[in-house]
Amino acid sequence: MKRISIIGYATLLLASVVYAQESTPAPPPAEPPGALEHSGMSRSNPPSQAVVPVPVPITPPKPNGPVQKSLVRITATAVDPDYKAPWNAGALQRGVGAGFVISGNRIMTNAHVVANSRYITVERDGDPNKYPAQVLFIANDCDLALITVPAKDFFKNMLPLKLGGIPTLESTVSAYGYPIGGERMSVTTGIVSRIDFQLYTHSSVDQHLAIQISAQINPGNSGGPVMQDGKVVGVAFQGYSGDVAQGVAYMIPTPVINRFLKDISNGQYDEYPDLAITYAKLQNPAQRKYLGLKDDDRGVLVGSVVTAGPSDGILKSGDVLLSIDGHPIASDANVEMDGERSQFEEVVERKFKGDSVKVDILRDKQPMTVTIKLFKPWPYSIQGHSYDVRPRYVLYGGLLFQPLNLDMLEAYRTSDLRLRHYFEYFILDQIYVDHPDVIVLSNILPDPINSYLTPYRGGIVDEVNGKKIRTLAELSEAFAQAPERLVIRMIGDGPPLVLDRNKVEAARERIKTRYNVLKEQNLEDKPASRIAAAEDQR
């Protein structure tokens, strides 16, 4: 619930570079016969020449069984939207990650391996073919995705893996994947170092449980299984690059994976619900006494309640949360669940949209019990990355208007104090109430009609012809119904931006042609790749 918008902690482990050997259309590694064999497949072929040494094929550590029968290598070609020229398709990216087969002819991987993808192929051990694959479900908020291979018989020889529980601290785990350093499957082992909430950098706004392991995992490990006793205990997904911290890697633990699988069981992914509150630990004795709390180390203090969230009207700033669904909340915000101590959000984390949570609170020293029906509050989405959507924008008279969000902010690398403030405090200062879209005049395509308008760049639209503008759709509407003169007021005390509609109309084609603008606006957040995927299926 306490989400932070600091950008880029750990790095994702997707090998996003296309390696040299990949780009050369050379045939698959043509090693001398018998020199390097795909493990487990070729025992029957004795080396043609009995020469030593026989390179030992990678044999999986015994406890986990033949993992190569479950592991796949995923190559995804993605189109990342161009927030600076949002009418363009965007830049092509190619990445390599891992995935593993689970029940129901499905392959589990990370969302960041297949996000924004336009074409996905899957390879497996001992099979020279590349199989086209499709995304079934993608959960960008917890960095998981399910894909499948339509080709008949693909799954016939594959062994679906089973999911385990949360491994104990210091127990040994093995990570499988296709990290840099070679073509074939790699295994590394390590121990479970820490179990804690972490920022998931794929969306960079969501925090969930994550397990830190000491196994070396590197770009290309993304989406690969981390196993213990023949069961999957996690999906490798992010880590720190070597110049930040050594040997710190994270995997997505099974509670998160199971939740994802359960969420999609109704045919769609509904995302994580959230209480949408901020809270503070209650460790100060005077504060506890003031609030009328017993000396029992229980309770956390509600700071802000987001009005666009499910707790609005139910919880208030100053309430003390005492227990959640029967789990007592300690004053350091932890609860005990399944014998593990974890942050009390974990209770909400395992719930689904539409579920309820029962919270015992203390309000003005009076105990109360409230029930909160959960859903996902929308305002957080601007503070995270978006995937598989086309950027929204309106281009009018060469002026590009875009709603403020993380992707847009990163694309322009703005240091503008006001923009950064509106972004950081979008939720806490309730900016979203008056400005569900913080519409920024982000760029100007130069044309005689806008030659004097450069100083307005970076401004946030407040009103057009005296009417407050709350959303991009309203702005588009205001432009469409413009009288002869348009007066755009920006937030702050700058001058108004004045446009002559007739001149703008006259310049439209000219600007479109000059800058190769295919479409003057996109108001819908909706799909980019899904359309293509749907067409593929037909």
Partner 1 sequence: MRRHSFIAFSIVVIAVSTTLAKKEPAIPTTASAPKEVALVRVNVTGQGYDYFRPWQKKAPFSKRALGAVLPKGRVLVTADLVTNQNYVELERAETGEKTAANVRVIDYEANLALLEPAEKSFLDGIAPLEITSDTVVGDRLAAWQLEPTGALLATEGLVTTIQMMPYPVDIGQFLTYRVSIPMQYRENSYTVPLVKNNKLAGLLLRYDSRSQLLDAIPAPVITHFLKDADGQNYRGFPSAGFSFFPTRDPALREYAGDKGKRGVYITNVEAGTPANKAGLKVGDIVTAVGSHDIDENGNYVDPLYGKIEFTNLLTAHAYSGDVIPFHLQRDGKPMQLNLTLEHREAKDYVSPPYSLDQPPKYYVLGGLIFQELSRQYLKEWGPNWQREAPQRLVYMDHFQSELFPERNRRVVILSQVLPANSTIGYDDLAYLTVSKVNGKEIKSLDDLAEAVKQPVEGFIKIETEEDPKQIELDASQVTAEAPSLQENYGISSLQRLQ
Would you name the residues annotated as active-site residues?
A: 112, 143, 222
Q: Which is nearer to partner 1, 107 or 488 (CB)?
A: 488
DSSP at 60: P
Biggest CA-to-CA distance, the chain: 89
Beta strands in 268-388 (DSSP E): 277-281, 300-305, 320-324, 327-328, 334-337, 340-343, 356-363, 366-373
H or E stretch including 213? Answer: strand 206-213
Select the residue interacting with partner 1 from 36, 487, 507, 533 (CB under 8 A): 487
Select the residue interacting with partner 1 from 134, 278, 430, 465 (CB under 8 A): 278
Q: Where are the alpha helices (DSSP H) in 329-456?
A: 345-349, 406-412, 417-424, 431-434
Q: Which is nearer to partner 1, 355 or 434 (CB)?
A: 434
Q: Where are the alpha helices (DSSP H) in 134-277?
A: 254-263
Window 438-457: residues binding partner 1 (CB under 8 A):
452-453, 455-456
28-36, 244-252, 279-287, 475-483 -> range binding partner 1 (CB under 8 A): 279-287
The secondary structure of 82-121, three-state, reads CCCCCCCCCEEEEEEEEEEEECCCEEEECHHHHCCEEEEE
Output the smallest distance, CB 328 to partner 1, in A: 19
Per CB under 8 A, 301 contacts partner 1 = yes
Please tell me the number of Cα atoms within 13 Å of 36 on its side-chain side: 10
Per CB under 8 A, 282 contacts partner 1 = yes
Q: Which is nearer to partner 1, 291 or 517 (CB)?
A: 291
The single residue listed with the structure tokens 């750990």 is 10
Per CB under 8 A, 285 contacts partner 1 = yes
Q: Which is nearer to partner 1, 373 or 485 (CB)?
A: 485
Per CB under 8 A, 406 contacts partner 1 = no
Per CB under 8 A, 317 contacts partner 1 = yes
Per CB under 8 A, 493 contacts partner 1 = yes
* Six token digits for residue 354: 């539409």
Say how far apart CA 228 and CA 213 lie, in whole Å: 12
**Partners of residue 226 on adjacent β-strands:** 175, 234
Window 238-277: residues binding partner 1 (CB under 8 A):
none
The single residue listed with the structure tokens 């939207």 is 81
45-53, 84-92, 232-240, 415-423 -> range binding partner 1 (CB under 8 A): 415-423
**Residue count, binding to partner 1 (CB under 8 A):** 44
Per CB under 8 A, 507 contacts partner 1 = no
The answer to whether 302 touches 320, Cβ cutoff 8 Å, is yes
* CA-based nearest residue to 474, from 289, 377, 482: 482
Output the smallest distance, CB 448 to partner 1, in A: 11
Select the residue interacting with partner 1 from 500, 507, 512, 533 (CB under 8 A): 500
Per CB under 8 A, 89 contacts partner 1 = no
Phi-psi region of 365 (alpha: psi -120 to 50; beta: other; left: phi over 0): left
CA angle 98, 103, 136 (to 5 degrees): 65
Select the residue interacting with partner 1 from 421, 467, 514, 526 (CB under 8 A): 421
Select the residue interacting with partner 1 from 150, 230, 318, 367 (CB under 8 A): 318
Output the smallest distance, CB 413 to partner 1, in A: 13
The residues binding partner 1 (CB under 8 A) are 278-287, 289-291, 301, 303-304, 317-318, 415, 417-418, 420-421, 424-425, 428, 452-453, 455-456, 458-459, 485, 487, 490, 492-500
